[in-house]
């Protein structure tokens, strides 16, 4: 049995990782830390909290005293650091929040973990996994090879710059202090429990409510889509067997442009309504409720500043060293993802109330259809 600290454990990837870890290693002690900001949702963790399968702590990774107390009480020898501000559009509006959480939060966690492990003589068997993004590498041209672990850092948004800075901090702690740390850089995730400001859930929910589906620019921007369950499998493998001080890129091998992704979401919803006539009564504003197509809602809007054109990940190192490969192709992963949002209406309706609506109005209200 080991004691594990998972930061950002009530976020999209974090809560999926908690469930994956609990299933893979049921005897480990899981301590889950989350500040419970706008994108966090504790609902899926409540059964685990209730039966004491996990210890949940509401708190900020910048709070050194709190982090120190968690190490003193629970003695974690593994840290999976996922706590982060992660939405590019929000980073454009409020970059300071991203520097605070992503840079200072990572620094505080690194420093406190290092002190705790040194004091306990645990550096030799402890591990710290810093979960980062492919956006630190910048943007690829249409014919460029995918990002590898040796690709230069060229962040183009405040979000990407804050994650690049935190990656560099982790590397510096490995080299300077002997911190037993590893880094993963992943491509775009999708799957259950993703906050509705992200592309895929945003389009699903807008289509169900008969609202325009806002696609930036001409929709040609390309992302490599990684199902969150494949990502969690990779994180477990890297934390268990990865080489200290190394970076591992985690991709889905599913490059799609945004225009095609939105079209596939629309087609998937159209088929779901055709199969299940009860959906029309639940979502009467959706074009598919009356036999139309959700594609009629697609609207092209002015692009966001510094919008990277293409991301793609080369996961050869991960597969070669650790035998980890993604198992879910995009089309097969999208269908159950859409169905999850159909089946969990109460979850996303709670999330999309209040502050979320204000954010959508702020981010998209000024954009002009083109």
Reported as a single tens digit per residue, the pLDDT across 2-20 is 999 999 999 999 999 999 9
Strands (E), the chain: 3-7, 29-34, 54-58, 78-81, 127-133, 181-186, 188-190, 213-216, 222-227, 247-250, 255-257, 298-301
User: What is the per-residue pLDDT for 68?
Assistant: 97
pLDDT of 359 strictly over 80: no
pLDDT confidence bin for 367, thresholds 50/70/90: low
Average pLDDT, the chain: 94
Cα-Cα-Cα-Cα dihedral sign, residues 41, 108, 57, 60: negative
Q: 198 burial class (0-12, 13-18, 19+ CB within 10 angstroms)?
A: middle
Q: In what order do the strands lie in the sheet with 188-190?
A: 188-190, 222-227, 255-257
* Dist. CA 31–CA 29, nearest whole Å: 7
User: What is the per-residue pLDDT for 125?
Assistant: 94
Helices and strands (DSSP H and E) totals, the chain: 15, 12
Listed range (82-91, 123-132, 138-147, 261-270) with the worst mean pLDDT: 82-91
Provide φ and ψ at 6, rounded to 5°: -115, 115
* Dist. CA 17–CA 9, nearest whole Å: 8
Give catalytic residue positions: 134-135, 159
Provide φ and ψ at 298, rounded to 5°: -65, 130
Listed range (34-43, 69-78, 126-135) with the worst mean pLDDT: 34-43
HSE, side-chain direction, 13 A CA sphere, residue 284? 1
* Dist. CA 234–CA 252, nearest whole Å: 11
Beta-bridge partner residues of 4: 30, 78
Cα-Cα-Cα-Cα dihedral sign, residues 223, 224, 229, 232: negative
List the structure tokens of 247: 């970076």
Domains and CATH numbers, the chain: 3-190+226-253+310-328 (3.40.50.720)
Length of the chain: 370
* Dist. CA 224–CA 201, nearest whole Å: 16
* Dist. CA 129–CA 110, nearest whole Å: 10
User: Which whole-number Å values give the CA distances from 359 to 8, 198, 354, 362, in the listed order?
Assistant: 21, 12, 9, 5
User: What is the per-residue pLDDT for 365?
Assistant: 64
pLDDT in tens, 279-328: 999 999 999 999 999 999 999 999 888 889 999 999 999 999 999 999 99
* Dist. CA 150–CA 168, nearest whole Å: 14
* Dist. CA 117–CA 314, nearest whole Å: 33
* Dist. CA 235–CA 311, nearest whole Å: 20
pLDDT confidence bin for 38, thresholds 50/70/90: confident
pLDDT in tens, 92-134: 999 999 999 999 999 999 999 999 999 999 999 999 999 999 9
* Dist. CA 21–CA 23, nearest whole Å: 5
In terms of Cα–Cα distance, which of 225, 242, 157 is closest to 189?
225
Task: Select the more confidently predicted residue: 86 or 105.
Answer: 105
């Amino acid at each position: 049995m080991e004691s594990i600290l998972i930061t950002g454990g009530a976020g999209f990837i974090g809560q999926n990782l908690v469930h994956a870890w609990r299933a893979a290693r049921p005897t480990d002690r899981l301590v889950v830390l989350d500040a419970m900001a706008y994108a966090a949702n504790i609902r899926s963790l409540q059964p685990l909290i209730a039966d004491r399968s996990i210890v949940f702590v509401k708190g900020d990774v910048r709070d050194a005293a709190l982090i120190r107390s968690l190490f003193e009480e629970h003695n974690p020898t593994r840290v999976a650091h996922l706590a982060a501000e992660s939405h590019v559009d929000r980073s454009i509006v409020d970059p300071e929040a991203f520097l605070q959480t992503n840079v200072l939060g990572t620094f505080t966690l690194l420093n406190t973990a290092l002190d705790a492990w040194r004091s306990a003589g645990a550096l030799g068997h402890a591990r710290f996994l810093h979960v980062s993004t492919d956006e630190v590498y910048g943007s690829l041209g249409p014919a460029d090879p995918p990002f590898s672990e040796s690709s230069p850092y060229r962040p183009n948004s405040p979000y990407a710059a804050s994650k690049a800075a935190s990656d560099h901090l982790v590397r510096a702690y490995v080299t300077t202090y002997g911190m037993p740390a590893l880094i993963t850089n992943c491509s775009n995730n999708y799957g259950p429990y993703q906050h509705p400001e992200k592309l895929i859930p945003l389009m699903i929910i807008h289509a169900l409510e008969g609202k325009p589906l806002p696609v930036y620019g001409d929709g040609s921007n390309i992302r490599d889509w990684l199902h969150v369950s494949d990502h969690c499998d990779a994180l477990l493998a890297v934390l268990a067997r990865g080489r200290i001080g190394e970076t591992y890129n985690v991709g889905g091998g599913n490059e799609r442009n945004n225009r095609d992704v939105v079209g596939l979401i629309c087609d998937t919803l159209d088929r779901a309504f055709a199969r299940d006539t009860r959906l029309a009564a639940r979502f009467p504003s959706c074009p598919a409720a009356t036999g139309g197509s959700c594609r009629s809602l697609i609207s092209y809007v002015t692009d966001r500043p510094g919008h990277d054109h293409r991301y793609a990940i080369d996961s050869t190192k991960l597969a070669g060293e650790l035998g980890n490969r993604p198992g879910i192709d995009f089309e097969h992963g999208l269908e159950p993802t859409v169905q999850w949002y159909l089946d969990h209406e109460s979850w996303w309706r709670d999330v999309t109330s209040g502050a979320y609506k204000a954010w959508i109005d702020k981010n998209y209200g000024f954009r002009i259809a083109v």
